[in-house]
Amino acid sequence: MNSSPTPPAAEAVVYAPIDAVDRFCRAALAAAGADEATADAATRAMMHGSRLGVDSHGVRLLGHYIKVMEGGRVNRSPDVRLVQSFGAVASLDTDNGHGALGAYRAMEHAVELADQFGIGAVSIRNSSHFGPAGAYAMAAAARGFVGFAVCNSDSFVRLHDGAMRFHGTNPIAFAVPVDGDDPWLLDMATSAVPYNRVQLYRSLGVQLPEGVASEADGRDTRDPSLVEMLAPVGGEFGFKGAGLAGLAEILSAVFSGMKLSFDILPMNGPDLSTPRGLGAFVMALKPGAFVSPETFQAGMQRYVDVLRTSPARDGLTVMAPGDREWKVARERERIGVPLDPATREAFSALADRHGLTLPFSH
């Protein structure tokens, strides 16, 4: 295996135009029976990941999403609706639909609440895998609000010093608009890496970094084919990552009445027909409800300006959260989205089955 921790090797991927990949995803989802709202939300979320370099949660998920829709786990035409509200708080039922559809709808409502009350929080129930949490935080930032999003998932991450799967990768995302600049965007799994990253490295034949994953007995491994659980973020101080995972767990599952991570069916089967009962949580904040918009933006601009111009260690560069993603996004607007071998194979199978035009040349 390649010992480099950073995929991919140049010959391992093919770059496809963003618009072509977007069209292919929508067409494939529609051909699989997804309604227009589901196809739109799932594609938007996947393309967010692929545009910003979060490839583990990008279009490589298309085949899986279609498989679970066809298997019956995910409702292809859900009745997504608010089922409870109290002031600036609401609960949304996704009707076992695609997680991205529920998360986007929930954030839309959270922004409406925040516009009225200064803050809006929406708990999401009966959901499914929703992909990159940053997509939903960014949906709020794009409208001038601060966005926050968390989700839990099936157990795959050990506790600090633990030797069993306990939490899911339980992502946390927080996006803040900055006038005349890219948003400040934190989008992180509370595991050292997401499991989809392990799958990506396996597809590319690349070894994992040290201390991010373990075998069945909890011993660390760099071989993605031997991974049975992930480590919490934080390395020797992984109790911090485990605590953050717990925060996401409580907001996602306890506040929604949904399943805790260790009670959720595995994402990759073998049961692809039973809904998994995931919970999630989104929140929007209206900056002008706390200070004047001018004061808020002056503070954010001062913060990111000093951050980016602060001294760096030799040979390194200081970056604000999101800077790497915006750099990747600008590059990919030019060169396209990288598709690894497993993703190209999945796309080809979908194209053959449904008579679709591939976004790349054979």
CA 166 to chain CA mean position, Å: 19
Q: What is the pLDDT of residue 49?
A: 97
pTM over 0.75: yes
Three-state secondary-structure class, residue 132: coil
Tokens of 232: 């919490």
Place of tokens 């790349």: 360
What gap in Å lies between CA 32 and CA 19, rounded to an integer? 20
The structure tokens listed for 265 are 């069916």
Q: State residue 4's pLDDT score.
A: 39
DSSP state of 227: -
Could you tell me the residue ranges of all domains in the chain?
78-314
188, 171 in Cβ contact below 8 A? yes
Residues near 197 by Cβ (< 8 Å), separated by ≥ 6? 56
Q: Which residues of the chain have pLDDT under 50?
A: 1-8, 10
- Give SS3 for 58: coil
Cα(233)–Cα(346) distance, integer angstroms = 31
User: What is the predicted pLDDT for the residue at 1?
Assistant: 36
Q: Give the tens place of pLDDT for each residue, 158-172.
A: 999 899 999 999 999
CB 322 within 8 A of CB 141: no
pLDDT of residue 194: 77
CB 146 within 8 A of CB 138: no
Classify 78-314 by CATH class.
alpha beta
Alpha carbon dihedral 346, 25, 95, 127, in 10-degree steps, equals: 70
